[in-house]
Amino acid sequence: MKIAIIGLGYVGLPLAVLMAKKYPTVGFDVKQNRIDELNNGEDFTKEIESTQLKEVLSSYATGNGLLCTSNPDALKDCNYYIVTVPTPVDKNNRPNLNALHKASEVVGKSLKKGDIVIYESTVYPGVTEDECVPVLERVSGLTFNVDFFAGYSPERINPGDKLHTVEKIIKVTSGSTPQAAIKVDNLYKSVITAGTHMAPSIKVAEAAKVIENSQRDINIAFVNELSKIFNLLDINTSDVLEAAGTKWNFLPFKPGLVGGHCIGVDPYYLAQKAQEAGYHPEIILAGRRLNDSMGDYVASQVVKLMIKNGVIVNGAQLLMLGITFKENCPDVRNTKIVDVIKALDEYGIQVTIYDPWATPQEVFAEYGLVTTNTLPATTFDALVLGVAHQEFLELDLNMLQKEKCIVYDVKGVLGKKAHGRL
């Protein structure tokens, strides 16, 4: 067997490295700079250590191992194609399947009789068979479930998490025929030490993934609303959640900004499919609206604290600690810190963004914002902890504060150091 991984980002690269330990594996990505970086043994996502990456790259010529390439011709002798490209939403929060369609075209040009194409990208139920398979058939000239087969196995990668790595997370699998499902399951079972769960159909597997993140989104929206209520009542939300958490079946969710490539996006995929079927998903969309409003809310709370502390808002200097969507991770996709910065800017506040994890070039290309990896050697009128990077938890905040400086804690980790928190 020879495996092809299409897309070498936060999901594809860890899977490619894992597969390469057991099978000859080709990792394909359209970005040549990403391929060059990986072939130099470097991974900007910091998901794979350099020594581990170099090891699988060097072993490819002698058997199992990993070949990283942007040349689609290298895919022609593969038997299993695993697609791990992003599935974002557009500016109107509608699913954007362009990357999925393009990846399917690339695979279709190399598809042969007996091959299996597995999709891992998060989608709404039906995308694999209704959107991707027709592209594979059109480009390859082959017939689905006669000449080639499909599968779906939702990714469960948690960027920055060194404990729950890909092989330690139970993998949901599925196939377009009973025989294909067994082959897909056996492939993953051979590398996933946590085991697998074979779903009865591709649509079931697709639905399972999209509701995982929708469930988290709704629960976080609930505690975000509680935070707004308790702030009006002058009650510490963290204290309330700690007290409630003593009950055995209380769910330990915390308020926060909901961004990233999954939780802040996937509910829109499910909502889109529900609306196509004639149902308006009230709870899912209500949760999304509330979570999407939290950036403006955080900014307004910061401004209120500044006014209360005698800080002149217009022209004030504010240090934003962190811009990635989560702690100890360089991933800036769909980060909601950007919403906070935009709202603060509208108040006339001058925002300096410091994040030792984020790549300044990537942030500027994505959001047009200037960031720094070096702690500014000056003081500020306000500090906002947006991301709980370990570096920030060890930081002496006093050296960054002007006399009337306020400290706002989005993540609820600073304790008494903060004047306000979400």
Candidate list 78, 132, 262, 405, residue with the active-site label: 262
Cβ–Cβ under 8 Å, residues 323 and 369:
yes
Residue type, 63: G
3-state DSSP helix/strand/coil % of the chain, to nearest 5: 40, 15, 40
Beta strands in 140-244 (DSSP E): 149-152, 171-173, 196-198
CB 221 within 8 A of CB 251: no
Return left, alpha or beta for 137; rule: phi > 0 is left, psi -120 to 50 is alpha, else beta.
alpha
What is residue 87's three-state secondary structure? Answer: coil
Contact 386, 375 (CB under 8 A): no
DSSP structure string for 252-308: --------TTTTTTHHHHHHHHHHHTT---HHHHHHHHHHHTHHHHHHHHHHHHHHH
SS3 at position 10: coil
Contact 80, 74 (CB under 8 A): no
For the record, the structure tokens of 100 come out as 């999925």
Distance between CA 305 and CA 315 in Å, rounded?
A: 16
The question of whether 262 is a catalytic residue gets the answer yes
Amino acid at position 241, single letter: L
Q: Which two tokens stand for residue 278?
A: 């004639």
CA 52 to chain CA mean position, Å:
23
Q: Name the β-bridge partners of 197.
A: 172
Cα 409–chain centre separation: 22
How many Cβ atoms from other residues are within 10 Å of residue 180's Cβ? 20
Q: How far, in Å, CA of 422 to CA of 237, rounded?
A: 8
Q: Which residues are catalytic?
A: 262
